[in-house]
Amino acid sequence: MLKFFARYKTFAIVFFIISVIIIFCIYTLLKPVERLPVYQPDMVNAELVDSTMQYVRKYHRIADFELINQNGDTITEEYYKDKIYIADFFFTTCLTICPIMTDHMIKIQEEIKNDDEILLLSHTVFPVADSVPVLKKYALEKGVLDEKWNLVTGDKKEIYDLARKSYLASKSNGDGGKYDMIHTENFVLVDKNRQIRGFYDGTDPEAIENLMHDLKVLKAEYR
């Protein structure tokens, strides 16, 4: 009996290895490819969406825009053409959620600083105070890399329209007066087609981990 097993030992090992490879290949082929949803306005909390957009079910994309960054440069949607990017809304004097959000965005910046496919975009919701020099000072204090991350200011109505009609991320339309600065903690993941592919709590470390995972999933779509 021992001679029998010794004789077929090599065959058994080879057979086992081939079987494992075949099983792995079958599992890989049958396993569904992970893909992120494409968010439409009717899929999002209506409180965060302009009333004109709440029932839109398809073809939603981030609208064209023209804003000014921390260096005084005009930033439009063309800057983000063929790029994946993460957007949020903040203001420099915020003492509640914004510092946490900014710290998390800095961590994301560190992770993506050598990735040419991914950029960052932060909109101030308090443009009357967050001028270009103010944004530049804030950027220098926080270690913002100009080539990766735009902090933008501009027309208040345009910013709030973007927040509610494009990014679906504000509880206010900005018409409550000079100090109407209502925004959410959401980080918004936008794909190369200007479609929303994810929302993440910018104050939650676990949500940031999910965002980093989803960036890899989204990048895989373009390979």
pLDDT score for 183? 74
Q: Would you list which residues are annotated within the binding site?
A: 94, 98, 183
Supply 220's token pair.
């895989």
Supply 54's token pair.
């709440």
pLDDT score for 170? 87
Q: Would you list which residues are annotated within the binding site for Cu cation?
A: 94, 98, 183
| Length of the chain (residues) | 223
Q: What is the DSSP letter of 128?
A: T
Supply 169's token pair.
């991320």
Predicted model pTM: 0.84
| Residue 74 φ then ψ, to 5° | -75, 125
Longest distance between any two alpha carbons in the chain, whole Å: 91
What's the topology of domain 41-220? Glutaredoxin (3.40.30)
In tens digits, what is the pLDDT along the chain, a chain of 223 residues?
545 445 555 655 655 666 556 655 454 455 568 999 999 999 999 999 999 999 999 999 999 999 999 999 999 999 999 999 999 999 999 999 999 999 999 999 999 999 999 999 999 999 999 999 999 999 999 999 999 999 999 999 999 999 999 999 988 776 655 556 567 899 999 999 999 999 999 999 999 999 999 999 999 999 8
pLDDT score for 33? 82
Burial 130-145 (b: 16+ CB within 10 A, else e): bebebbbebbeebebe
- Distance from CA of residue 165 to its chain's centroid? 17
Give the contacts of 128 (CB within 8 A, at least 6 positions apart).
156, 178
List the beta bridge partners of residue 120: 86, 149
pLDDT score for 172? 75
